[in-house]
Amino acid sequence: MIVDTGSANTWVGASTRYAGSGCSATFQVSYGSGSVSGKECTGSVSVGSLTVPAQSFGAASSASGFDGVDGIFGVGPTDLTSGTVSGTNTVPTFLDNAYSQGSISTEVLGVYFKPETGSDTADQNGELTLGGVDTSKYTGPLTYFPKSIVSPFSYYWGINIVSIMYGITTISSSASAIVDTGTTLIYIPTPAYQAFLKASGSSTDPTTGLSSWTTRPTGTISFMIGNSAFPLSPAQYLIPAAQYGPFGLPSGKFYSWISDGGASGVNFIIGQKFLENYYSVYDTTNSRIGFATRA
């Protein structure tokens, strides 16, 4: 299952149909990569050592865009479930219920990604901490920032971005973004993306749609959040050559994980390829997001 801070519904059945009972409602959710619909059920759900005996979850009868996974473990804000399940307004997430039943003392999710550098893209190289953080997975301070109150980013794990820098060039000022473990790339708004292309000497590859260079770039891109800078070096924002095959990328160029997010709406997404370099914390109890350098 995809662990997704960008959505809040938990469901199964993209590849294996659920044949249990306790399904008295229906659900339907649309994602950027596909959609799903089916019956909404209630039953015991366990993640690691935590069990919620009466968790609402979807059992898909139709799903598109989810090849290779069986569903989503939604850990975004509960408001993202609004209007997705018949007969109710919103549906509590697994973490909501674990907290309300006293299984965890604070509603916090810690997420650790280890970068995948080889050609194998299916390694189990991450860790979730439910109800706290794992201090062995990061170094230096863990810095928290308030959850955004700017719509539509406020419905997600949204955060305010002071600026984006490429080298010494400011390519964006005063923007809002969402932090989304369910998105692979780093999407920045179109004006920032165009400024990134110009500052870095890159162009959008017509075949893949990715920003690309004919010679390896040397500049660092930095995201300023509050008073803290979170830089990505070329080694961190470039796609490793060993992954060109799995991603179907032609050789002869250097490609970036940074892409065009569009001109409006939720057009700034801090996805997995940023989060592989920074430990991230999603604190519902205190309405804040934390970052630290990954160990």
Burial class (CB in 10 A: 0-12, 13-18, 19+), 67: exposed
Question: What are the structure tokens assigned to 188, written together?
Answer: 């920045």
Catalytic residue, chosen from 4, 96, 260, 283, is 4
Catalytic residue, chosen from 96, 180, 260, 283, is 180
Whether the bond between 141 and the residue before it is cis, its omega within 30 degrees of 0, is no
Q: What is the DSSP string of 251-293?
A: SSSEEBSEEE--SSSS--EE-HHHHTTEEEEEETTTTEEEEEE
HSE-up (13 A, CA, CB side) for residue 49: 5
Q: Which of 281, 284, 272 is nearest to 115 (CA)?
A: 272
| Residue 96 a catalytic site member | no
Element of type H or E holding 92: none
Strand 288-294 with 278-283, pairing: antiparallel
CB atoms within 10 A of CB 187: 25
| Residue 4 a catalytic site member | yes
DSSP label at residue 240: P
DSSP label at residue 82: T
Question: What are the structure tokens assigned to 68, written together?
Answer: 């290779």
- Residues belonging to the active site: 4, 180
